[in-house]
């Protein structure tokens, strides 16, 4: 009597499998094109970071910490952290990881900011997209690896695809919130002076919403970095692969070094991206 009745059975798994089979059968060229574009962007960032010598990139990180964060101490800290990553022997892997994160954020912003603007300008769009954002943020990140593998196989592209899905919700949400919280009097004043809807958006709403949008960029970046280890399970080379190998071989020191390297990158990226929103507030 306490068991759930077997007659009530919703075959959701079968429906999803059929939908995936249909997508693979009918949209295979589309996914090949998407995968080609993603791969080219990732390789472009990877080649850039691997081309810049360590003795150039470390001072650049220090300069960014000084000028963007606004403290010389931050610049020195960034230089020390990057130097430690290199001293662990993970410089090349760290650059590969950084390229994956930046490429993921690049695509997330291209997708997320327009969707956030759409949500802000339409209550109906917000009502439809808000539950989708909730599902994307609460769904276990491992689930995203399944369709990514089916669409793109193993390698960097499926890892990027899963990372983008996981990381894009914050920038969508905070773009929406930022535009909706813009002072209505400023919007009405611009309309009174004859501004078009496009001018109101680009000249009033987006500039005033920049602090909120940049916080969204910060959160999206950190969520992309959080997918590093998970992405390594499907062939994304980088620091995540070192953590995964250390787990498989039970090498505590190796895992600790790779984990610290990820933490150091996270600190640098977090401080730099957050500084943009803080600067705009001033």
Q: Is residue 121 part of a domain?
A: yes
Q: Is residue 174 part of a domain?
A: yes
Q: 117 with 175: CB under 8 angstroms?
A: yes
pLDDT in tens, 213-249: 999 998 999 888 888 778 877 877 888 888 888 888 8
Q: Is residue 79 part of a domain?
A: no
Helix, strand, coil percentages in the chain from 3-state DSSP, rounded to 5: 85, 0, 15
Whole-number pLDDT of residue 281: 44
Q: How far apart are CA 97 and CA 21, in angstroms?
A: 32
pLDDT exceeds 80 at position 5:
no
Q: How far apart are CA 49 and CA 96, in angstroms?
A: 8
pLDDT in tens, 130-161: 888 888 888 887 788 888 888 888 888 888 88
pLDDT in tens, 58-115: 999 999 888 888 788 888 999 999 999 999 999 999 999 999 899 999 999 999 999 9
Find where tokens 């803080």 sit. Answer: 278
Whole-number pLDDT of residue 278: 67
Domains contained in the chain, number: 1
Mean pLDDT of 1-6: 73
Q: Is residue 74 part of a domain?
A: no
- Read off the DSSP letter of residue 202: I
Whole-number pLDDT of residue 236: 78
Q: Across all residues in the chain, what is the average pLDDT?
A: 87
Q: How far apart are CA 218 and CA 49, in angstroms?
A: 20
pTM for the structure as a whole: 0.87
Q: Is residue 229 part of a domain?
A: yes
- The continuous run of DSSP H or E covering 176 comes out as helix 169-180
Q: How far apart are CA 36 and CA 40, in angstroms?
A: 6
Q: How far apart are CA 100 and CA 47, in angstroms?
A: 11
Q: Is residue 124 part of a domain?
A: yes
**Domain hosting residue 202, numbered range:** 12-51+88-281
Q: For residue 108, give the CATH number of its domain.
A: 1.10.3720.10
- Read off the DSSP letter of residue 155: S
Q: Is residue 128 part of a domain?
A: yes
Whole-number pLDDT of residue 280: 45
Q: Is residue 262 part of a domain?
A: yes
């Amino acid at each position: 009597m306490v068991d759930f009745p077997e007659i009530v059975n919703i075959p959701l798994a079968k429906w999803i499998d059929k939908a995936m089979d249909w997508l693979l059968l009918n949209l295979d060229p589309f996914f090949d094109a998407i995968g080609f574009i993603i791969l080219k962007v990732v390789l472009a960032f990877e080649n850039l970071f691997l081309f810049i010598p360590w003795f150039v990139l470390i001072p650049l990180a220090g300069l960014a910490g000084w000028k963007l964060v606004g403290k010389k101490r931050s610049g020195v800290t960034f230089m020390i952290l990057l130097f430690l990553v290199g001293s662990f022997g993970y410089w090349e892997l760290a650059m590969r990881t950084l390229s994956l994160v930046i490429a993921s954020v690049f695509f997330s912003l291209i997708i997320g900011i327009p969707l956030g603007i759409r949500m802000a300008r339409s209550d109906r769009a917000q009502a439809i997209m808000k539950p989708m954002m909730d599902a994307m943020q609460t769904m276990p990140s491992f689930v995203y690896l399944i369709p990514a593998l089916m669409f793109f196989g193993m390698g960097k592209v499926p890892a990027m695809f899963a990372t983008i899905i996981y990381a894009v919700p914050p920038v969508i949400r905070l773009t929406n919130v930022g535009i909706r919280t813009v002072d209505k009097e400023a919007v009405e004043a611009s309309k009174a002076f004859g501004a078009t809807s496009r001018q109101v958006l680009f000249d009033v709403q987006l500039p005033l919403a920049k602090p909120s949008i940049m916080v969204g960029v910060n959160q999206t970046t950190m969520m992309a970095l959080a997918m590093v280890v998970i992405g390594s399970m499907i062939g994304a080379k980088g620091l995540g692969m070192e953590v995964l190998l250390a787990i498989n071989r039970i090498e505590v020191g190796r895992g600790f070094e790779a984990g610290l390297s990820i933490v150091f990158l996270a600190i640098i990226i977090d401080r730099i991206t957050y500084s943009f929103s803080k600067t705009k507030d001033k």
